[in-house]
Amino acid sequence: MVTIIASTNRPNSSTLKVAKYYQARLKEKGLETNLFSLMDLPADLISTDLYGKRSEAFKPIQEMIHQTEKFLFVIPEYNGSFPGVLKVLIDACDFPGSFYEKKAALVGVSSGKYGNIRGIDHFNGVCGYVHLHVLPLRIHIANIRQELNADEQLFLPDTVKFTDEQMDKFLKF
């Protein structure tokens, strides 16, 4: 199973739009994926699912994570890094079984000009700790508001070219 994680709980985010774009393009390339938005995390996750506790609401999420062999994280820039809610997800999941020796691709998005370079680097450190192998080609999509057209699709030629290259490598990874 392959799961795309829209790594913010912000409603109507560009992150979710990019995650849906990746899901559609990967389907065109022959790969069916799950899409999980962090908007769908239980609201009380911090009090119910950390430090060895497990709620009924989180059990299906944990099972999905456990069954996933490859992840594609679309990660927005929050304060020069990645969203805290993404770290909470990682912390809530069983360790080491959730991510150990699995694979991931990372896509950074930002409204600024650097495409979340630092946040992707920071998250890569977390991936290393949980033994999640990361595809070397990381994509950084800057100025995301100018990158998505009215149909919420990436359309600029260079961005489409590099995201397609990453997807092709992800399929083989």
Position 173 in a domain:
no
Query: Does residue 19 sit within a domain?
Result: yes
Give the pLDDT of residue 53: 82
Structural domain count of the chain: 1
Please indicate, yes or no, if residue 9 is contained in any of the structural domains: yes
Alpha-carbon distance 74 to 169, whole Å?
A: 16
Answer yes or no: is 172 within a domain.
no
Identify the CA nearest to 17 among candidates 28, 6, 25. Answer: 6
CATH number at residue 33: 3.40.50.360
User: Residue 81 is part of which domain span?
Assistant: 2-166
Within-domain flag for 125: yes
Element (H, E) at 70: strand 70-76
Distance of CA 17 to the CA centre of its chain: 12
Tell me how long the chain is: 173
What is the pTM for the complete model shown?
0.96
Q: What is the pLDDT of residue 163?
A: 98
| pLDDT less than 70: residues of the chain | none
- Check residue 54 and give its pLDDT: 85
72-107 b/e (C-beta count within 10 Å ≥ 16 → b): bbbbbbbeebbbebbebbbebbeeeebbeebbbbbb
Quick: pLDDT tens for 100-127: 999 999 999 999 999 999 999 999 999 9
